[in-house]
Structure 1
Amino acid sequence: MYSKIQLVKKYLRYLLIASNGKGHGMHSPFVFELITKILNDKRKYPFYDDIEQLRCRLKQDNRVLEIEDFGAGSRVNPTNKRKVSAIAKSALKPNKYSRLLFRMVQFYQPKSVLELGTCFGITTAYLAQGNKDAEVFTMEGAKEIAEVAKQGFQALGMENIELILGNMDNTLPKIISKFQNEHKTFDFVFVDGNHREEPTLRYFMQLLPVLNEHSILVFDDIHWSEEMKAAWHKIIANEKVTLSIDLFFVGLVFFRNENKVKQHFSIRF
């Protein structure tokens, strides 16, 4: 993984080349709509406060958990015994990006949502709020983290979330097989489960058969390390990907047939 100084340098370089995020001069109607109606939506929705209050409580929670880490580990604390507060402060996605996920789900109204990497369920709650009629599946490998997430869902009254516990190397193929047998697809997927090149690419390839033309994939931390950067570039080069958007901390992937020529954008967000 990159050091904080390396990440800052890469972010500053990204700001120099990325478009201004206002939509001016954008020739793709789809991307222009995404910028103006989703990225630049500054409205504050009533439920934001409830989820952010839960985030605050997690950051003050001194319970110690035993963690099974199936991913690339923590930048802050590599030990397997960690306080809830420490995990919440280092691992939870900032509300700026959690709310982006909500707005995307709210705007595109996917019926089936999959999240790889629940953590304490803050982003899961935002995803579930985007479309309360959607089935939201979220996967978490660490049992005690999953229990904290379930408590949060219960406190928020979230009823459209199914938490799948276990190593994603085992649980992801099972749910994919289930969807294939039922001739169903995932409309929206947030990948935040393992920040290494090989598993990230493997998840992407495994998911392709259960995606459709209008499916949206969001990859977290695409500039987190050389491995994640390499994975991102291989993903957006895939022949089935017609449009990709680099927001630096997350990357958006689309498969829309209306795009006759593959397009890639870097947009300030």
Structure 2
Amino acid sequence: MGRAWIAAWWAYWAWRLTRKASPPPVQAVGQLYRRLRRATHFLLTVEQFGAAVPPSAWGQAATVSLGALTRQAASPPWKGRLLYALTQARQPQRILELGTHIGLSTLYLGLAAPTAELHSVEASPTLLRYARTHARLLGLRPIFHVGTFAEVLPTLQGPWDLVYVDGDHRPEALLSYGQALFAQLTEGGWLLCDDVFWSRSLYRAWRTLAALPWRQRSLIGPFGLLQK
């Protein structure tokens, strides 16, 4: 499976350099992203979670525009294209996403593996409502779970062929969830961690996690890929 991600990586860069048209599913998500970015006057109240929020303030609401939410944390087209290519290369049957946000990364995962069973976890009920809407727009039916990772993970059962982590960027959280998920991955399964360069401490946590007996360890753009 090592050759699969190498092929996906080169296919992605060939696309970047030649500017060939993206596959239609990728174009559809990119168009949605651009529309959402322009929604700067559409305000919503969102529950706050994650590394940027003190744990004592988790769950407290803040008002933000949909456009700002999209620009700040949703997967942009260049990253989505890479996520799509990697997912296609892995050909997973069961996918777990930690950190749904408004669901754009969920769309890339689901469209790249349309026959896979896709589970996605998000702590904010408000964000999850938008993710559900976006999934319906593109004809996908992921299984969404509302709650923090600590609340939801014990209720889910592997095995997983692909786990995509894009939320709760606290170093201790990545180590805890990553170590727990190692046992739930299939042989050859991938743990794909987004934003590993988000902070020095998060990158160090990923390096510590990579010391487990993985078959492959790779940095691919913003992703840290670990193959069991």
Q: Which amino acid aligns with 1:30?
A: G
Answer yes or no: is 1:250 the counterpart of 2:216: no
**Aligned match of 2:99:** 117
2:130 alignment partner AA:
V
Superposed, which structure 2 residues align to 1:63-212 within 5 Å? 63-73=42-52, 80-159=62-141, 161-175=142-156, 179=157, 184-212=158-186
Structure 1 position 214, deviation (Å) = 1.0
Q: Secondary structure at the match of 1:73?
A: coil
Where does the alignment leave 5 or more consecutive residues of structure 2 unmatched? Answer: 54-59
- SS of residue paired to 1:172: helix
Q: Indicate the residue corresponding to 2:29 in structure 1.
A: 51
Report Cα offsets for 1:143-195 as digits up to 9, x if no partner: 11111111111111113x111111111011111xxx2xxxx400001101111
Cα shift at 1:250: 1.2
Give secondary structure in 1 for the equivalent of 2:24. coil
What amino acid is aligned across from residue 173 of structure 1 in structure 2? Answer: P
| Residue 30 (structure 1) aligned with residue 9 (structure 2) | no
Query: Any unmatched runs of 5+ in structure 1?
Result: 1-28, 256-269
Q: Which residue of 1 aligns with 2:199?
A: 225
Distance in 1 (alpha carbons) for counterparts of 2:216 and 2:34: 36
Q: In the alignment, is the contact (CA less than 8 A) between 2:26 and 2:80 conserved in 1?
A: no
The amino acid of 1:56's aligned partner reads R
SS of the residue corresponding to residue 40 of structure 1 reads helix
Residue of structure 2 aligned with 1:241, choices 196, 199, 214: 214
Note the aligned Cα RMSD (angstroms): 1.9
TM-score by length of 1: 0.74
For 1:79 and 1:124, the matched residues in 2 are separated by 23
Q: Deviations over 1:103-146 (max 9, x none)?
A: 12212211000110011111110100111110011111111111
Deviation at 1:94, TM superposition (A): 2.4
Report the CA distance between 1:219 and its aligned residue: 0.5
Number of corresponding residues:
213
Q: Which runs of 4+ in 1 moved over 3 A?
A: none
Taking only the aligned residue pairs, the percentage that are identical comes to 29
SS at match of 1:115: strand
3-state SS of paired residue (2:48): coil
Query: What amino acid sits opposite 1:46 in the alignment?
Result: P
CA distance in 2: counterparts of 1:30 and 1:48, whole angstroms = 24
Distance 2:83 2:35 in 1: 22
Aligned counterparts of 2:144 and 2:215: Cα–Cα separation in 1 = 31
Distance in 2 (CA, whole Å) between partners of 1:94 and 1:59 is: 10
Q: TM-score, normalised by structure 2?
A: 0.87
Asked whether the equivalents of residues 244 and 251 of structure 1 are also in contact (C-alpha less than 8 Å), the reply is yes
Q: Secondary structure at the match of 1:67?
A: strand
Find the partner of 1:39 among 9, 28, 44: 9
Q: Distance in 1 between matches of 2:137 and 2:151?
A: 29
